[in-house]
Copies of this chain bind each other. A is one copy, B any other.
């Protein structure tokens, strides 16, 4: 995709670009660069990026923080009529949390062959949750590749 091409507001690409901006913040903080936003009625109600290093906490994935923040915004535990945009396929922990939240839709960019939730049977998601993958997958995975290349070079 041409970086300069206009992106319609309220499109999946628009919201995924916001998630990528969150991932960039993680990258800049030397965290594995994953970002997420939660959208409800075309409005971003939560933004988060991975903070596992800064918080010294394996549970501080972008999705986990986005779920907590979105529930806080909505004043209820369940993310009905909400869509999570996340740059990387959620891991099993995050999929479990998204199941408890009964989120309506999950849209992820890059696939995570090694840690992604789609490896598991039965599906860890809530049966009513819709999943879309591959939105801006190149842009989503670019930061992650760059992060690990940089890490390896500094070894």
Where the two chains meet, the residues of A that have a C-beta atom closer than 8 Å to any C-beta of B are 52, 56-59, 64, 67-68, 71-72, 75-78, 91-97, 99-101, 119-122, 124
Q: Which of A56, A75, A93, A122 has the most CB of B within 10 A?
A: A93
Report the bound CA distance from A120 to B122 in whole Å.
Answer: 6
Question: Which residues of the other chain, B, contact A52 by a CB distance below 8 angstroms?
Answer: 77
Question: Which residues of the other chain, B, contact A97 by a CB distance below 8 angstroms?
Answer: 58-59, 93
| Total copies of the chain | 2
Q: Quote the shortest CB–CB distance from A71 to chain B (angstroms).
A: 6
Question: Which residues of the other chain, B, contact A58 by a CB distance below 8 angstroms?
Answer: 67, 71, 77-78, 97, 100-101
Contact B67 A100 (CB under 8 A): no
Contact B59 A68 (CB under 8 A): yes
Question: Which residues of the other chain, B, contact A99 by a CB distance below 8 angstroms?
Answer: 92-93
Report the bound CA distance from A97 to B91 in whole Å.
Answer: 10
Please name 12 further chain A to chain B contacts, defined as beta carbons within 8 Å, in addition to the given A58-B78, A92-B124, A93-B100, sorted by A numbering: A56-B72, A56-B77, A57-B68, A58-B67, A58-B97, A58-B101, A91-B96, A92-B93, A92-B95, A92-B120, A96-B96, A121-B121
6 contacts between A and B (CB under 8 A): A56-B76, A56-B77, A57-B77, A58-B100, A119-B122, A121-B121
